[in-house]
Structure 1
């Protein structure tokens, strides 16, 4: 079974005649492309993101970009079911199973050679490398083969939503690059005559594409048609001036001059054609020759590729906000930089390193009166440029004797920078990098973290610049928090609002709260947070990528080497070294309080763990982490709220892995400090207890759920749960849990006005819970006994209640539970304040911490 999206959607296979193998062996090939437009949208979206999980939300947005129907989720499930049948028909041996449900959506497994885009990008990568290696024949052949895979615009027969639009733009750019590099290779091979007609068509179609015009100028010049070559330049200049008000770039102007001069070197395929200074001329880059290993990678068509030009900084962004402290630091470092000064902007992916570098370069422009040079070292495919290549490009700019600022964006290694040093006096180097390039003399780093809340609030304008409703400060704070404080993510969120006028900031925040779909929601056009984070992840060594994936099993928040050791299955010292290595790759945030995975990186790590680690590896690692946290939580000391939330999350992890006893143990370890989603947490633990046939644990969870139902005044449900807890505790022989269940039932009877029935239940409960070691249950029984005494009018009842609340205060101190201690003190103060007021018709009684009841006088006994 094979797929094609470089043109109309294609699905071909051998069908029932033998599946993909028969088709590959020359058997009958049948088209199985869906006819229904909606099915093509779903399949096309899954193919654009082949072998990745695509969230249901993204698919729904693609199917109904304007307003999804209320039945969108159900309809999507129907479409997926139809696609599975189609894939099963195309490949009976495994087509149906290739489309799997994977939280939070679906994943389509596709072989590397079964999808035309994968084949195209592999051929493009190999052709690019061959071009770099000056193997022009191989490069041209590979790129021709890549281009023949295109049958038309991406998914030309399929409606496009935001995801498909973005993919079409990206693939179109890659195709343009491949076409450009194929022409370069063929010019090196002397095929200029054969290229003229094709290039004339290309410049007619792409009237502002300077590279294609330059290729045509060189081809015509080499054919002896100098005047026509100059007319091509004139046509390009007229188009740019009339439609954009700009002149052609420096490379095109240099090429025009050389054609005017009839430069004979331009007629020779493969000749060096740069117009800047050569090696050894003492440029602002450095003194001396280019040195061993310097390469001459100039294209054969007379253009400068990504060669620099003075004053070539990207324009300043008028929407730039925040980073005032870092900007001030950068400005001070660059203005005070000694000869050959080097400053690096580094930090987590998505923190806005490039934007900050460009903004600071504009602000210090007056300190470098001869201009700035900007080089983006990213490449669409193939390895990043070497230091020798960068030096070669820089030495073509007219930098001799000038004071310039050189900005290198996306540096990946110190080896890219070292050949440039030392700089000539008066010049400085500003670079951006995911990690600090080690070993560069005199390097001054400026490290970026997430935006601070006050910086994020300055971005409210981003959410209104397209006419949307203005979010309040609270909404901005929440959206920025859900974006992890990353500028790139906040801009993606703002772009989502702009693309969906029917959304409000509250709608956006609601989409972002869904962890499973958050990264999908942070993709708008060419602003793709997941893609940016994936770049950083893919650039890291394999060992660090594995560390990154496994750390996603730890609960959100700070951790240290001890917790990481459990996830990584390493001794603590080795785990500490692994954390340091991951921090060096800027995939882990570290400060004096410990380590943490920034939220969006954590979500990416969760995805990669699911996609790249085998189920047995994930289960074993999850079990190690859960056991380590359960053991740590069993140590004396009060849990922080964040710790309790982490244990609840781990209990969920244990449940998903089928580790039933561990799920119960982790929930027990919260010590009742579960606040958010407490009912869901105890319900999950109850299910785990039932599955592992632990009647005592079942009683504990039923009693905890009974407490919650009672607090929400759902008395009937609370009675049902307490009764179940009592039965299961007695079945397990657990006297403590039986006693605590009796206390719950007694409080229900007391609330219903049956003091005598409550007293009858409390008597055996107190007997069971007064045993040493059952302090919390003893506290609960003493509290219920105090409330029973309050139900009696007169001083005698008040004094009895005072004695029991005093006992509560003593037991709370033994438990070191501040919340229970405060409750006991508050109850005693209330008794003192109402002393002598026993005859009041009604009084407020706090029956549990934070839970009040209006107590009528004369409760029935």
Structure 2
């Protein structure tokens, strides 16, 4: 970064220093150094004597400061004369009560250069490289500039002018460090970035960018408990709308990120040997949200999904993964789709049917969005979009993932696809009446629930009180969403013990309303799930929740509902199709304990 060809070199990135033709200049005591710094950094401008006095002593200079200034200027002239030559000399000229530093140099050589100027110019170059996302160049340029930093700029030089330069350069130094560390993160050097980011976040807690970069690096390295703790602390500190938006955007990725590496207990399997051959080209378009990091005890489920989607022996082009609210159907479908990128040369496409309220989004509009993702223009007539989508998919060996497909009437029109194109549907409906490979997700085992809590919170917190941890796992009844809420609550509140949280969640509505994500409680999620059925079937659900035993027959349901067995069977089947009941055997059903708790504590119904 330095320019050794200049006649006069001035160093400000650390103790002040000056060299004329490589000969060191004695700049004298601190206040005399302050006089030189103001002249040297004025970039050739004339400085009136009163301005120089204020630069050195501030707005209230002592008596005699003008005379002292003249003495300092005289000493500086003497110091530069002692190192000057016929070819290179420095003079401090007085013109009408103003002073200017003048450098005489050989023809064609720059007069003076300051490492401070070069440092700021490097910062501007790095900023431009960041805007173009040239991360290799950002890392190279920022590292080169930072190598010239020698500590506090203008060390021990007094006065307001030096303080202003010092503040500006220290801010530039922090910005360059943040650019350098962001480049490391973008280049997947997360581990290397964490120590410096931690230091910046500790010494400069008011720098939001450093906090966000540290959150991202911790999360990418699998240190989710630390990331969530930092997230909670940062959210409490930064209350502005822009900061909250950035934090909430990052929060949505904390539990949905591509893993740096999988572990044996959390591994997602690769496609089975019977799968369709992998695509030879690795350039197939993939339009998917990130895979979910902490995905446990679903190896058998994902193996079955992969086989159904890739095996040439599959009996249908439609594969369905279904389960009650919070059971992890979206997670299973997304993680499976990510493992199949190489099997679908026509691409993998994603649509979330819950992102837009159903009354405002027509099937034609949804088809139009998918067409744009496929790289085709949307037809001018809305009614033609669905037909055009089928025509384009018929020409592709592609996978289409429909997420949160909780209503069959949204899925059915998309089903008649060509044999080469596969449809993966995730949601809370079993699509009765349609031929599909169906995979119903069950609750996590106790060991899997323990693994999930350990992965997010950390083993030291989870194992400090085994009894309390077991109680939390029991309260969640194997529901992945509930367990994740427990884990995030503990991770973002390091002062809470598992026993303290278990005490808070005991008892009906305390559990359902006390467990929540950033935006929704478990109660609200379960309430939304029952909207898939009619008001009459919601009434049935509440009555069935009052049956004391965990499983019941259609005859027992009919007795509680006060209706015929045939009619009670139809009601139970409707609830099972919406994953609000799970069939255990012919004419026998069960209800998840948390859904039973929700239904039993909701508004009371009158049985007539």
Q: TM-score, with normalisation over the residues of structure 2?
A: 0.47
Q: Give 1 or 2: higher helix fraction.
A: 1
Higher relative contact order (CA 8 A, sep 6+): 2
Q: TM-score, with normalisation over the residues of structure 1?
A: 0.34
